[in-house]
Structure 1
Amino acid sequence: MKKHLLSGLVVLSVLAGCSSSKDVVPDIPPSELYSDAQSSLQSGNWTNAIKKLEALDSRYPFGAYSEQVQLDLIYAYYKNDELALSSATIDRFMRLNPTNERLDWVLYMRGLTHMAQDQNFMHSVFNIDRSDRDPEPVKKAFADFKKLLQRYPDSQYAEDAKLRLIALKNRLANYDLATADFYLRREAWIAAIKRCQEIQKTYPNTEAARQSLPIQLEAYKQLGMQEAIDRTKMLIQLNQS
């Protein structure tokens, strides 16, 4: 019995050794390893690309490919939905290469990474509106794209950044609208009014700003503030025309 158990353990250890050896990146010249990583990137094999790029990054941190390897890792991590690693690599790259000519792309990727952190696959599949979710990643993405436009107005990523800023502004406005509605349902009339006014001031050209007016009107009615009621009714009429 012991012999069979021992032989079984030996077989398992051999199999484990074979399995782990497959995961080890071969010790080949950096140029060849980089070429293999590029092939994996081009074919969309993100996991394999990451494995080889990480090997390059750890074995040759100051090599000829070091900066490009980090740039490739940013993209591969993002595509492989390893957003925390993508974000960490971005921060590292920006810290070590403050004058790199690709910083506009790096900033653009940081915005995309923060945007992706606001997504939820199941919510997308079932078309569930989650405007009430914490918008912190959205705020960070908004800041990234805004900074991109300020620092690199002629960047090839500027036009896309402008479009994303519009979408992000709507996302933030919808979050504030959901918060105002929550306050209204909790009968926190003053808090609801303040949040509605904040939406109208910060995001004046959004659908959320228009939708905040009926919430504001109801809160004023509950407080019996006739002058404010009349003023809000006028704003609603103006926004309907």
Structure 2
Amino acid sequence: MLKKIFLIFILVLSLNSCSKKDVAYEPKDRVNPYKLYQEGFEAFEKGDYFYADKKFTEAELNFEIVDFAAKSAIMSSYSLYGINFYSDALINLERYLKKYPTDNNVMYAHYLIAIIHYEQIQDEKRDLQPLLDAKKKIEFFLKKYPDTDYAIDLEFKQDLIQNQLAAKELYVAKYYISTQKWVPAINRLKVIVNDYEKTVFIEEALHRLVEIHYYLGLKEESEKYAKILGYNYNSSEWFEQAYKVLNKDYKIKKKVKSEDSDSFFKKIINKIK
């Protein structure tokens, strides 16, 4: 999906550049900026991103036509992205947005910024900041450009981020459970229930809340979370385990979900198709 979107964008840039050969401009210092751009584009297509970045940068400096300068700048950014120079690519993109705020490819720049932040996510257990940065950039894009092909890709990535954030909360909650720190454990689990209810971790979070409250003698609270779990996820193993906590002799009757209650991820997959 990502490669396809980038390919379409690059082809548009190439076709646009060819269609404007007849536009008159005065190159600086007798350097032909169009030639520099073409050299950069040819290098880019061959995968020589270092050389492509060099030529696109030179082209931008020599173009007096704003549209071409802007295209050179964003192609330079994508070249840097191609060699995983993420920090340099982000700096270049931010500069592009400030220098060419009305350019036709501003949306793509915001998309690439979101993608770069997303690809810098590594281990959420060690460093949560890249995850939060990616979440922020993706949310910005989806709010500003909701009905685009890029949005479909980012919506899926947003769901993955939500799951990673929920996983982090559950990881910390389990640590607190293992050390019998019940209040912070409950608080972490409630974050999942309130903020990440569409993630795959919601069922286990509800089950843990049933367990903890039952252990603390708070039977009504325990039953409340068991009912929520049963109402929404009555065919899951976590539902079965939760009711075993409350009633050792309970036998679950699994129900078949209706088509209207398909999982969130199934809806996303169908949407992408």
With the length of structure 1 as denominator, give the TM-score of the two structures.
0.74
Note if contact 1:77-1:83 (Cα within 8 Å) is conserved in structure 2.
Answer: yes
Alignment correspondent of 2:97: 94
Q: In structure 1, how many angstroms separate the alpha carbons of the residues matched to 2:196 and 2:87? A: 30
- Partners of 1:63 and 1:70 lie apart in 2 by 13
Structure 1 counterpart SS, 2:34: helix
Q: Does 1:29 align with 2:23?
A: no
Over residues 92-133 of structure 1, what are the superposed CA-to-partner deviations in whole Å (9 max), with x where a residue is unaligned? 1122222222121111111100001104xxxxxxxxxx4524
Q: Structure 1 residues 233, 87: closer, same or farther in 2, change over 3 A? A: same
Deviations 1:2-52 (A, max 9, x none): xxxxxxxxxxxxxxxxxxxxxxxxx96322222111101111111221232
In structure 2, list runs of 5 or more residues that go unmatched: 1-29, 236-273
Equivalent runs, 1:58-97 vs 2, <5 Å:
59-60=61-62, 65-97=68-100
| Aligned sequence identity (%) | 23
Alignment map for 1:1-241 (pairs within 5 Å): 29-57=32-60, 59-60=61-62, 65-119=68-122, 130-238=123-231, 239-241=233-235
Shift of 1:192: 1.0
SS at match of 2:132: helix
Task: Give distance in 2, aligned partners of 1:219 and 1:56.
Answer: 64
Number of residue pairs matched by the alignment: 204
TM-score (norm: length of structure 2): 0.66
Q: Structure 2: which amino acid aligns with 1:233?
A: A
Which segments of 5 or more consecutive residues in structure 1 lack a partner in the other structure?
1-26, 120-129
When the two chains are superposed, the root-mean-square deviation of aligned CA atoms in Å is 2.3
| 1:22 equivalent in structure 2 | none
Secondary structure of the corresponding residue to residue 149 of structure 2: coil
- CA distance in 1: counterparts of 2:172 and 2:98, whole angstroms: 37
Q: Distance in 2 between matches of 1:191 and 1:61?
A: 59
* Structure with bigger RCO (C-alpha 8 Å, 6+ apart): 1
Mean Cα deviation higher: 105-114 or 145-154: 145-154
Alpha-carbon contact 1:37-1:53 (below 8 Å) kept: yes
